[in-house]
Structure 1
């Protein structure tokens, strides 16, 4: 299993991770609300997933909850969905394609098979400005997304067994 954090080109940040489980299991972990909530936030935080409508124009509504009662709403929209291969989502819009003033990023997930029957995942974020990209790094992009990817690996292996 490999894990790589890359600065990406321009305003992008992304991680690459290989899993020993098939792509379909990783896809389920991204697209089923009860599974997404189990791994998406680094512990001790958790993601309460209220809505997950995985289709172009579909929306997601969740709240990141901290151990001391902190709550961070995380709402967005799916822009592109290629089942078992790619997701593109953004916090730039809410339901009805209504723009959100406090947009932070457009995210993407790309999945591909590895020769040994596992999955390579590229999980990234595109930012509108260098300040946004820098803020994401300062918020702990590498540590946070790395921890979440580790939790995803654990859940996916459990589902595969």
Structure 2
């Protein structure tokens, strides 16, 4: 039985609490040197991490899997409201540099007692037929990134 794009989530939300001040969590998302330390699924590294965090600014991250495979991602920031909100498009790129799918990511940073709550909303805005193999792991990938972010923030 094959899976199609319509069989995977085209929208998702995750909420996560971080025991750290909102400003520190915000910087982990917006400072390139910090972003490259935690972005991506568990056990992935980011040999290339570029982000111009301003409306119209571009993002490019190459995520390297434990087996050495590199998964390039491009994107563009649409809205930046320090330290409350980031909205950015992200597209996974194929070997030719063409988008496989594009997601709109909205990240809200809320100051709460003893820390920061992040609410992430992801909506797939465009996807090729082959995108299902990546999109089916979207929740797991973001959950792993949030775990890495929590560990990273714990070292600050």
Task: Determine whether 1:86 maps to 2:85.
Answer: yes
2-side partners of 1:67 and 1:11: how far apart? 27
Asked if 1 retains the 8 angstrom alpha-carbon contact of 2:101 and 2:126, the reply is no
- Normalised by the length of structure 1, the TM-score is 0.77
Over the aligned positions, Cα root-mean-square deviation in angstroms equals: 2.3
Gaps of 5+ in 1: 1-9, 93-99
Of 144, 147, 154, which aligns to 1:147?
144
SS of equivalent to 1:21: coil
Gaps of 5+ in 2: 1-8, 92-97
> How far 1:109 moved relative to its partner?
0.7
SS of equivalent to 1:67: coil
1-side partners of 2:135 and 2:73: how far apart? 18
Task: Determine whether 1:128 maps to 2:125.
Answer: yes
Asked if 2 retains the 8 angstrom alpha-carbon contact of 1:42 and 1:145, the reply is yes
Higher strand share: 2
- Normalised by the length of structure 2, the TM-score is 0.79
